[in-house]
Structure 1
Amino acid sequence: MAAERLISRTRAQQLDFVRSIWPSIGEDEFQREDYGRLFTFIDRETNVTTKYLGRYSKHGVDEIAEYIHFLRGNFTYSKTQAITSNQISQRIDGGVISRTLDLAASVWLTTRVDTEVATGCVTWHLNDSLQSSILSHFQSTVIVNDTKSDIIPRGFTMAHLCKAYGFRVVWTDDLRDHLSVDWENQRIMVYEHLIYLYNFLMHPAPIPIPIEIFEEAIDTINLLFPSDQKRTKRFLRSEHRIFNRLGYCGRERRMRLSDYRHWRERITVLKEVLEDPPKGHHQLVLDKERRNFLNWATFWIAFVVALLTIISIAFGIVGVVYSVKSYRIALESLHVGVQQTELAIAMACTDTEMAARLPQYCSGA
């Protein structure tokens, strides 16, 4: 089944599949090294058609591409209309077609559509269109006024969140999960297919997800992974990700919460993390924007006070030890002096004439 794998196909075959999603992409614009992760995701999804042959009406990458082509022109159809369409029905069981439509939609939208599983997936009901089913999972918020709290610190990067606050990135193929946080395990989910988002900006094609959502998703990646920062480049190399090759995708790094409508709540939650002191030794360093000045100053003042206290105690102990030693030396000197005096008297008393002069010392001699 190796021939079915998109990742291992020739450049021309890969380009043919890419054009099933972005028909206008030119041959010179297709850089296959940018699509490695996306192709791996597509291979993994379409592999179920060969693993469970009876559950799908089409099998393999090429046939799923036929369904994608159908959906591109008919995403306003209800599920029932899509199933009964003469273009794809061919007297096949409706449940089989329904599952195949879900799979094709998942590959096309990089968003898990599975009506049977439902939990954690987009459910495409028989009376609903694919467009309405998808849009219910992408909600926007009202833009806030331009206030100080609206400003996002320039140090707000994924490399900083992971290094200073102990987070870990979990890369996801599902755009809905982008920037969701697992607080218990300190994990941040990040959508990794920047090339997918970028292509819809450069090569517009019909799709049920508004282009504004793709633009904003790019902006969030630019925000958290500034491609011109060395720290981010090192971080992405450690994660074996190369999407920074695309740069800022022709957009600027947006540094206000009011620039975001679809992912603003998740950005706000992550931004609030920066209001807490960093973990470990990072709390000892003053950041460039001096946002942690109070915590930094409190720590170092406490440290200096503790150090001075320890030093004063140490000097006090040294003083006591010195006094004790001086006292002992004085006693020993006095004892030696007494012994020398007694020896001199004893020697003097051996002389008869001297003994007569010193009766108070030599009377017992």
Structure 2
Amino acid sequence: MNYRPRCRSAGDMGNIPMCNMIWPVLSERPYPADQYTNLAMHVREQLSQATRPLEAFISSPTNAEKMAMIVASVRDHPSRPLGEILDHLSPSVLEKDKLNPSIIEALLHAASLNAMVKLPELGTCNNFENEDRPTAGKDGHSLQEAVSSMFSTPTRRPEDQLIDHKLTMSYLSVYHKYDVIWVNDLTQHLQIDRSLRTIKIFQHKIWLSAHASIPGQSLLGDALVCEALDTLNLLFPQHDRRNHSFLNDRGQRFYSLGYCGRERNLHLQDYRYWGSNLEQLMDIMKEPRRGFWQLVPNARQLNILESANFWVAIFVACLAIISFAFGLVAVVYAKKSLDVSLESLELTRLQYQLSVAQACTDPDQAKRLPLFCKPSG
């Protein structure tokens, strides 16, 4: 089924209409409005970068409509060489030279939007690790071949082992201090930087959900789209309060999308494109925890001695604090006891003086106590 963009009037356009114009497949099912925020931001960024190239097109009054028209041509002719797509677009351009750099640049921007990758400009194929990779416009290769070449599958498939259900991004963040860098380019998805302790994550789950539900709407293969969606389901599972908080704290709202008609796949062998990246994440889980959590006993790592030493030290420190507290209390009570004793001594002295004074008031007693009773006057 071929989808054609629905034209909108020029001027400011809302997030939902603009995204539906670029990717009409999004309009096939209702998504919450907040799911479009980051996706629309990416579209506006691409339109800003393509402002000058889009000036070569005269088909529509707005850049968004121009881009939607080019994206539709890319989507409808995925396996055709670049030259044929340019021929198809020729009625919509101001200059009929199909090799006009502006026209080609606009086409590459549209293909990048269609596949959610960053296609290199013509003549920059040296940016690829392998110069023999198909490149758009090179040797008659199609845009689909150029996009597919950006995703390599390893010669060795991952072993058929179960992925630990605890492998989530929130787990890696809490226990191993990894943080997320949200990206718009699927070629960067699940790139891991161990020195900076960062993991790049493709942030547009709504885009993956829509394209996984209706095949053939992207230059990407359907299998690759579904696998990318599975990796998000794996790292951000449902019914996980910590995961929900993790996403909310980072301004991501795709938790409410659920599993998008799929399940959380824990079979490593099913991940052809990102299996090696997931293996690295599994290895990270086996590393010693960082921060306070490295001192908590953990069955995954042999840290029993370190944990025992730490908690014994904590216990001894607590005993020392308790002993100090009791010693301080004892000093306070000793001081109070001393004050009471001094007051008691003073009362005894006063009582003695009173008894002597009473005795001296009696003349007979006064004669018997000449040392204590001085004769009056």
Aligned ranges for residues 184-199 of structure 1 at < 5 Å?
184-199=195-210
Partners of 1:171 and 1:119 lie apart in 2 by: 26
Q: Is 1:302 matched with 2:318? A: no
2:69 to 49, 53, 66: 66
**118-127 or 157-166, larger mean C-alpha shift:** 118-127
Counterparts in 2 of 1:205 and 1:54: CA distance versus 1, 3 Å: closer
Instruction: Report the counterpart of residue 242 of structure 2 in structure 1.
Output: 231
> Alpha-carbon deviation of 1:120?
5.9
Partners of 1:278 and 1:191 lie apart in 2 by: 26
Partners of 2:281 and 2:106 lie apart in 1 by: 37
> Alpha-carbon deviation of 1:87?
5.1
Counterparts in 2 of 1:132 and 1:305: CA distance versus 1, 3 Å: same
Could you report, residue by residue, the CA deviation over 1:6-28 in whole angstroms, capped at 9, with x for unpaired residues?
4x36x556544431xx28x43x6
2:255 partner letter: N
Corresponding residue SS for 1:274: helix
Could you report, residue by residue, the CA deviation over 1:128-181 in whole angstroms, capped at 9, with x for unpaired residues?
1111111111122344443xxx23222211111112212111000001100001
Counterparts in 2 of 1:199 and 1:91: CA distance versus 1, 3 Å: same
Instruction: Report the counterpart of residue 330 of structure 1 in structure 2.
Output: none
Q: Is 1:207 matched with 2:210? A: no
Instruction: Report the counterpart of residue 151 of structure 2 in structure 1.
Output: 138
Q: Is the 8 A contact 2:165 2:266 kept in 1?
A: yes
Partners of 2:173 and 2:204 lie apart in 1 by: 20
> Alpha-carbon deviation of 1:242?
0.3
TM-score (norm 2): 0.70
Instruction: Report the counterpart of residue 267 of structure 1 in structure 2.
Output: 278
Q: Is 1:248 matched with 2:250? A: no
Partners of 1:144 and 1:14 lie apart in 2 by: 36
Instruction: Report the counterpart of residue 108 of structure 1 in structure 2.
Output: 114
Instruction: Report the counterpart of residue 98 of structure 1 in structure 2.
Output: 104
Instruction: Report the counterpart of residue 18 of structure 1 in structure 2.
Output: 23
Q: Is the 8 A contact 1:47 1:60 kept in 2?
A: no
2:280 partner letter: V
Q: Is the 8 A contact 2:296 2:307 kept in 1?
A: no
Counterparts in 2 of 1:73 and 1:231: CA distance versus 1, 3 Å: same
1:267 partner letter: L
Corresponding residue SS for 2:286: coil
Q: Is the 8 A contact 1:151 1:255 kept in 2?
A: yes
> Alpha-carbon deviation of 1:35?
1.4
Partners of 2:317 and 2:106 lie apart in 1 by: 73
Q: Is 1:76 matched with 2:87? A: no
Could you report, residue by residue, the CA deviation over 1:59-105 in whole angstroms, capped at 9, with x for unpaired residues?
61110111111111212121223223445566145122211110111
Partners of 1:17 and 1:54 lie apart in 2 by: 15
Q: Is the 8 A contact 1:180 1:188 kept in 2?
A: yes
Partners of 1:182 and 1:216 lie apart in 2 by: 22
Q: Is the 8 A contact 1:170 1:188 kept in 2?
A: yes
1:260 partner letter: Y
Partners of 1:310 and 1:49 lie apart in 2 by: 64
Q: Is 1:38 matched with 2:39? A: yes
> Alpha-carbon deviation of 1:253?
1.3
**208-217 or 113-122, larger mean C-alpha shift:** 113-122
Instruction: Report the counterpart of residue 128 of structure 1 in structure 2.
Output: 141
5+ residue gaps, structure 2: 1-8, 129-133, 320-377
Q: Is the 8 A contact 2:180 2:199 kept in 1?
A: yes
Instruction: Report the counterpart of residue 326 of structure 2 in structure 1.
Output: none
Q: Is the 8 A contact 2:54 2:103 kept in 1?
A: no
Instruction: Report the counterpart of residue 48 of structure 1 in structure 2.
Output: 49
Partners of 1:311 and 1:189 lie apart in 2 by: 43
Q: Is the 8 A contact 1:226 1:232 kept in 2?
A: yes
1:91 partner letter: K
Partners of 1:232 and 1:310 lie apart in 2 by: 36
Could you report, residue by residue, the CA deviation over 1:266-322 in whole angstroms, capped at 9, with x for unpaired residues?
1111110111111110112245xx323x22x1222333666799999xxxxxxxxxx
Partners of 1:222 and 1:276 lie apart in 2 by: 23
Corresponding residue SS for 1:204: coil
Partners of 1:12 and 1:174 lie apart in 2 by: 22
User: How much identity, in percent, do the aligned residues show?
Assistant: 24
5+ residue gaps, structure 1: 313-365
Corresponding residue SS for 2:182: strand
Counterparts in 2 of 1:125 and 1:221: CA distance versus 1, 3 Å: same
Partners of 1:275 and 1:188 lie apart in 2 by: 17
